Amino acid sequence: MFPKNAWYVACTPDEIDGKPLGRTICNEKIAFYRGEGGRVAAVEDFCPHRGAQLSLGYVCEGKLVCGYHGLQMGCDGKTVSMPLQRVQGFPKIRAYPVVERYGFIWVWPGEAQLADPAKIHPLEWAESPDWAYGGGLYHVQCDYRLMVDNLMDLTHETYVHATSIGQKEIDETPVNTKAEGDHVITSRFMENVMAPPFWRANLRGAGLADDVPVDRWQICHFHAPSHIMIEVGVAHAGHGGYHAPKEHKVSSIVVDFLTPETETSMWYFWGMARNFSAQDTALTAQIREGQGKVFAEDTAVLEAQQRNLSANPGRRLLMLNIDAGGVQSRRIIDRLVAAEQPQKLAA
What tens-digit pLDDT sequence spans the chain (347 residues)?
899 999 999 999 999 998 999 999 999 999 999 998 899 999 999 998 888 999 999 999 888 999 888 888 889 988 886 776 676 777 889 999 999 999 999 999 999 999 999 999 899 999 999 999 999 999 999 999 999 999 998 888 877 887 888 888 888 888 999 999 999 999 999 999 999 999 999 999 889 999 999 999 999 999 999 999 999 999 999 999 999 999 999 999 999 999 999 999 999 999 999 998 899 999 999 999 989 999 899 999 999 999 999 999 988 887 877 789 999 999 999 999 999 988 655 44
Query: What is the Cα–Cα distance from 263 to 25, expressed in whole angstroms?
Result: 11
Q: What is the 3-state secondary structure (H, E, C) of 72-112?
A: EECCCCCEEECCCCCCCCCCCCCECCEEEECCEEEECCCCH
* End-to-end CA separation in angstroms for the chain: 27
Which ranges in the chain belong to alpha helices (H)? 144-152, 157-160, 169-172, 197-205, 281-311, 324-339
Q: What is the pLDDT of residue 347?
A: 46
Q: What is the pLDDT of residue 85?
A: 67
* Omega before residue 225 within 30° of 0, cis: yes
Burial class (CB in 10 A: 0-12, 13-18, 19+), 230: buried
Query: What is the Cα–Cα distance from 101 to 113, expressed in whole angstroms?
Result: 20
Strand 28-34 to 79-81 pairing: unpaired
**Which secondary-structure segment (H or E) carries 188?**
strand 183-193
Q: Which residues pair with 31 in a beta bridge?
A: 22, 43
pTM of the shown model: 0.92
Residue 173 corresponds to which amino acid?
A: T
Which ranges in 93-214 belong to alpha helices (H)? 144-152, 157-160, 169-172, 197-205
